[in-house]
Structure 1
Amino acid sequence: MTFEILPLEPADIPECFAAAQKAFVEFSRLIFKPDHLSTESAELLIKSRIQGFNNRNLQSRNFKAVDCETGTIIAAARWRVYPEDELLIKSVDEIVEAKLQPRVPELREDVARAFYTMLNQGKREIAGIEKDKDGRTVKLMRRVELESLFTHPSYQRRGAARALLQRCIQEADLLGLVVYLEATQDGKPLYENCGFEAIRTHTFEAEKFGGEGAHQYTIHDMVS
């Protein structure tokens, strides 16, 4: 199978959403109550993602890997470029609240809120470069932040995710920026094989918030 890397378009969002649901099964079970979202909830989330895509600024990058024979989207990635130090305008609570939108009936709100709070606090601790007089992080370092990377389960281990990741790394190299990302246990081997170093591992105990199991997420970076 051969594939090509192309820019992701708004019209691709429904197909990407379906592929991501299959790729992120463990995450979906963590955040949502049943294994599968209702049609109504899926449509609402897709609509929200399309709106978010259309509202993204010039710092955002969205790419897809497409099967050259079938035209199927087999993988996708999203990253954001911060060419200057990022001044934090919103609190962790405000950022997390935005992540919970739109609320669907299947959402485990307590679990999702605690999970996203953990990740955002971790980012501020690792990437923070300036604090205010109260000790709160107010500025994050210049970086390229990989926000999402997935491969459809039927097409894994064929090089698509690595090719997308390399595109992200190349942009960071050209700009002289650090690549920052958060990895699941499944994604960790790919990142480490591509030269990323684990800085910190978070263990999220979902049972404390009404969820199930313990889940590990590792913060990585690569200095260009």
Structure 2
Amino acid sequence: MTLPFAIPPSLSPSFTISRCTAADVDELGEIYYDSFKTDKRNTFWWPVEKEPMVAWMHRRNSRKIGDSSMRHFKVTDVQSGEIAAFARWDIPEGYEAAFGEWPGENVSAVDVSVLVQADESAGDAQQKPGEDVPVTTAPVDTITPPAVADYPEGADPEPCRVFFDALKKVSEKHNADAMLGLSLLCTSPKYQKKGAAKALMLPMLAIADAHGLKTYLEATPNGKPVYERIGFREVDQLTFDIEKLTGKPEGIYYLSIMVREPKSQ
């Protein structure tokens, strides 16, 4: 299926852009792990071991590629075939066609045996733009099972709950569902500063501009200045006391809530 935008001329011809598919989920998980692992502040809610974290990303990527309200695009190294970077976008209701028709990927089954039972405060958590949120089970016939939170196996549930609850609340506060959402943007460390991330962002932002849409994201400390250079501004901030949550003397972790206003056409 064709892209909803032209490949930016700024991207080197040694790379190409295409849609992510179900066949990419393992590689996407590895890229996520490697890109966020470069700053340990990003990982305070992760399990110690890599394998459960990558398995968790496999489940999530499988599920989200099968979600018709999301769009996934990747930059691929033409010579090696490796994925250099990928982006996940949350499309606001009513604008699905503007950002390209959903390719209709099959959804892999979720292994509910690894889901961690959430406490009542987790509530009915739903997907939102940003760094990913817990999933809840769907009703079966007329019986609604208890909410569950899909945390990585081996992770401490309390830091996970605090992290994801905060993301959900701030998304609702700013009505993020009404905006285009950059839910996830990951660049493999070996391909950083090659223009891959920018090539994944600017075409989608141009579509948002054409439709008068704001764009929402949650930026890590290292990502904030990058997003500021393309028009995002901080509208809120989340603060996590890592030592209080984990017992590790890592200080305070900040996530910047950022919004980009559409440019005039």
Q: 1:110 to 1:142 in 2, by over 3 A?
A: same
User: How far did 1:187 drift?
Assistant: 0.8
Instruction: Report if the CA contact (8 A) 1:64-1:75 is conserved.
Output: yes
- For 2:98, the equivalent position in structure 1 comes to none
State the one-letter code of the partner of 2:135.
A
SS of the aligned residue for 1:168 comes to helix
For structure 2, the 5+ residue unaligned runs are 1-11, 96-120, 126-132, 137-147
Instruction: Report if the CA contact (8 A) 2:216-2:259 is conserved.
Output: yes
- For 2:205, the equivalent position in structure 1 comes to 169
- Separation in 1 of the partners of 2:179 and 2:164? 20
- For 2:43, the equivalent position in structure 1 comes to 29
Query: Displaced runs of 4+ in structure 1, greater than 6 A?
Result: none
Q: 1:215 to 1:170 in 2, by over 3 A?
A: same
Deviates more, 1:104-113 or 1:24-33: 24-33
- For 2:84, the equivalent position in structure 1 comes to 74
- Separation in 1 of the partners of 2:172 and 2:185? 21
Q: 1:97 to 1:13 in 2, by over 3 A?
A: closer
Q: 1:44 to 1:222 in 2, by over 3 A?
A: closer
State the one-letter code of the partner of 2:46.
F
User: How far did 1:179 drift?
Assistant: 0.5
Q: 1:104 to 1:20 in 2, by over 3 A?
A: closer
- For 1:206, the equivalent position in structure 2 comes to 242
Deviates more, 1:164-173 or 1:10-19: 164-173
Instruction: Report if the CA contact (8 A) 2:122-2:161 is conserved.
Output: no
User: How far did 1:27 drift?
Assistant: 5.9
Alignment of 1:28-67 (within 5 A): 29-34=43-48, 36-38=49-51, 42-43=54-55, 45-54=57-66, 56-57=67-68, 59-67=69-77
- Separation in 2 of the partners of 1:123 and 1:102? 19
Deviates more, 1:172-181 or 1:148-157: 172-181
Instruction: Report if the CA contact (8 A) 1:181-1:219 is conserved.
Output: yes
SS of the aligned residue for 2:194 comes to coil
TM-score by length of 2: 0.69
State the one-letter code of the partner of 2:256.
T
User: How far did 1:207 drift?
Assistant: 2.4
User: How far did 1:176 drift?
Assistant: 1.7
- For 1:98, the equivalent position in structure 2 comes to 135
User: How far did 1:165 drift?
Assistant: 1.1
1:39-79 Cα shifts (integer Å, max 9, x gaps): x663454144313322x01x311000111211110100001
More strand by share: 1
Amino-acid identity (%): 27
User: How far did 1:28 drift?
Assistant: 6.0
State the one-letter code of the partner of 2:36.
F
TM-score by length of 1: 0.81
Alignment of 1:178-197 (within 5 A): 178-197=214-233
- Separation in 2 of the partners of 1:219 and 1:44? 25
- For 1:117, the equivalent position in structure 2 comes to 165
Q: 1:22 to 1:94 in 2, by over 3 A?
A: same
Name the Cα RMSD after superposition. 2.5
For structure 1, the 5+ residue unaligned runs are 86-90, 128-139
Q: 1:222 to 1:104 in 2, by over 3 A?
A: closer
More helix by share: 1
Q: Is residue 2:13 matched to residue 1:13? A: no
Instruction: Report if the CA contact (8 A) 2:220-2:256 is conserved.
Output: yes
State the one-letter code of the partner of 2:50.
L
User: How far did 1:216 drift?
Assistant: 0.9
User: How far did 1:162 drift?
Assistant: 0.8
